[in-house]
Amino acid sequence: MQKLHAILLAALLAALAGCASTQPITTENDPDAQSVMDTVIPGVFGHWDVNALVAVGDPAVYTSDRIARARTFFHELSVSLGPMTAYNKAKGKTEITGSGPDQTKRATYDATMSYQNGSADIHVVAVKKQGKWLVEDASVQPSHHLLVH
């Protein structure tokens, strides 16, 4: 009977250890994600470069229709806001699951950028799988006094 309890206890501990390893760890301003965001955000939104977004975008998300809409929106924003004048480091959270080659990171970051004619809040969600970062979502909220169609 003691042997059965020891086996059951070992099985329970193994099951709990397995559950614990699948729980995501959330961290603020993960250095890996921070570096990616501080490259992607000014590279894309500092120059309103849709091609730079497509280069790091998840192809399943950034379809030809979405890219066409982004080109129109970016053009309107570049006309309304003008060139970038300042960038503040992005801040956000990263969920990390798994480890080693199976590790996945999901980063959600925000940054405020200043332009010649106003400012905008940038929101980016990116995922790192198999060692590669891909942007899954990005949005721009221009300062309230701008009219962008």
- Residue 29's pLDDT is 84
51 C-beta neighbours (distance < 10 Å), count: 10
Residue closest to 39 by CA, chosen among 27, 49, 25, 28: 49
Tell me the C-alpha distance between 21 and 73, whole Å: 42
| Inter-CA distances, 5 with 14, 16, 104, 128, Å | 14, 16, 36, 42
Q: What is the pTM of this model?
A: 0.81
Give the tens place of pLDDT for each residue, 89-127. Answer: 999 999 999 988 889 999 999 999 999 999 999 999 999
Please give the average per-residue pLDDT across 39-53, as a whole number.
97
Higher pLDDT, 1 or 137: 137
- Domain range list for the chain: 24-142
Would you identify the CATH topology of the domain 24-142?
A: Nuclear Transport Factor 2; Chain: A, (3.10.450)
3-state secondary structure of 26: strand
Share of the chain above pLDDT 90, in %: 74
Q: Would you call 40 helix, strand, or coil by DSSP?
A: helix
Mean pLDDT for 69-83 is 95
Are 113 and 122 a contacting pair, CB within 8 Å?
yes
